[in-house]
Chains A and B, each alone.
Chain A
């Protein structure tokens, strides 16, 4: 059951990663002319349309992560400690704190992305998005690496 939840957690995380990466790129590197290339089209996406999806995906991914966290605590963290993999352990500690701090930013993030977008809030919107993107990328990479270290118990 945990493996199924872990896979769903990973799939949600991938979706969230894609959404917030698109939004962050389109906010910080907006396309100035008609997009032709792959990267150009990525920069030209309508950033506003991602906001609600990102909030829902963040909540869903974090909730699922919280559900499977006890299993990590009982089976994975012990192994990391036994193998003296301090950096991997610390990276996960940071992940749990970053995710928690990110949860607190969601109401503000959601508000500043509400339509119609207020130009006064452009900087706040951009930085909140970048910070959430950092949290999502950190969490994704750390989760992926730890999963690779521990593997599945088959």
Chain B
């Protein structure tokens, strides 16, 4: 199977951008949509809980995926020379850092 030459850069940038956008989306509640499980209803963007809790997790992932796709698509247009210089390790280093950030943000659950 032939892949576009730009796919490696797309994949690296997507992994890094998605992780960053996800933690930002969670921290600032930038959900693309809200799900109300008790009502089985979706709402556009962030909505307050109606009956029962509101779920933003799906919306956070959608926000991050769309944003990361856009960033990675733009990065794919970089000249080949620049693209070759991008460290492949960003694809794991940024997600790892974001996971550690979540550990820090949620520490209150474990140190009560």
Interface SS of chain B: helix
**Is there a chain A Cβ closer than 8 Å to B110's Cβ?**
yes
Interface residues on A, range: 35 or more
Please name all residues of chain A whose beta carbon is closer than 8 Å to the beta carbon of B38 when the two chains form the complex: 74
Q: Known A100-B22, A111-B7; judge A94-B103 contact (CB<8 A).
A: yes
**A70, B12: Cβ atoms closer than 8 Å:** no
**A105, B58: Cβ atoms closer than 8 Å:** no
Pick from A71, A77, A93, A104 the residue with the most CB of B within 10 Å: A104
Q: Which of A16-24, A30-38, A42-50, A83-91 contacts B (4 or more CB under 8 A)?
A: A83-91
**A97, B26: Cβ atoms closer than 8 Å:** yes
Please name all residues of chain B whose beta carbon is closer than 8 Å to the beta carbon of A91 when the two chains form the complex: 109
Q: Known A86-B110, A124-B92; judge A108-B102 contact (CB<8 A).
A: no
**Is there a chain A Cβ closer than 8 Å to B32's Cβ?**
no
Number of residues from B at the complex interface, CB < 8 A? 41
**B15, A105: Cβ atoms closer than 8 Å:** yes
Q: Known A104-B15, A104-B22; judge A69-B95 contact (CB<8 A).
A: no
A107 to B38, CA, bound (A): 34
**Is there a chain B Cβ closer than 8 Å to A123's Cβ?**
yes
Chain B, residues 90-104, CB within 8 Å of chain A (1/0): the string is: 011001101100110
Question: Which residues of B pack against A, CB within 8 Å?
Answer: 3, 7-8, 10-12, 14-15, 18-19, 22, 26, 35, 37-38, 40, 52-53, 55, 57-58, 60-61, 64-65, 68, 88-89, 91-92, 95-96, 98-99, 102-103, 106, 108-110, 112
